[in-house]
Amino acid sequence: MPKPEKHIFVCTQNRGPGHPRGSCNQSGCASVLDEFMFEFQKRDLGGKIQVTVTGCLGPCGSGPSVLVYPEGVMYGRVGKEDVAEIIEQHLIGDTPVARLRLPADMW
Ligand code: FES
């Protein structure tokens, strides 16, 4: 397998209802992950961009959280409707989506 150009981590951490930290699972990460996988297959990006499901990335209250390397850009409150923009603008176009980036004091 060739080294991917970018690697994205989609948090799917689950915590029980009422947990004080919340979790990306409770904020809808499953549909975000499904959309990334669907778009990656549709666009045949598997050889260039790696998707990894991960546990907690830290900013739980701002999930669903998505982290992109090598830039180290953390996105928060990502919805299914944001996935195509992240792919086109950042993963392919190399320009992070400013409106979805978490502020520097959170990441
Ligand atoms: S539960 Fe997803 S960032 Fe913590």
Q: What pLDDT is stored for residue 17 in this prediction?
A: 86
pLDDT at 71 over 90: yes
Q: Is residue 106 domain-resident?
A: no
More confident residue, 105 or 82: 82
Distance 55 CA to ligand 1 centre (A): 7
Say yes or no to pLDDT of 1 above 80. Answer: no
Task: Give pTM, 2 decimals.
Answer: 0.95
Considering the domain boundaries, does residue 20 fall inside one? yes
DSSP letter (8 states) at residue 12:
-
Q: Which atom of ligand 1 is nearest to the CA of 62?
A: 3
- Give a yes or no: residue 35 inside a domain: yes
Q: Give the structural domain span for 47.
A: 6-100
Tokens 């830290």 belong to 58
- pLDDT the model gives residue 80: 98
Q: Is residue 41 part of a domain?
A: yes
Q: Does the pLDDT value for residue 49 go beyond 80? A: yes
With beta carbons less than 8 A apart as the criterion, state whether 29 and 10 touch.
Answer: yes
What's the rounded Cα separation, in Å, for the pair 20 and 10?
A: 21
What's the structural domain count of the chain?
A: 1
CATH of the domain at 32: 3.40.30.10
Closest ligand 1 atom to Cα of 11: 2
Average pLDDT over residues 10-16: 96
Ligand 1 pocket list (CB less than 6 A) = 11, 13, 23-24, 56-60, 63, 65
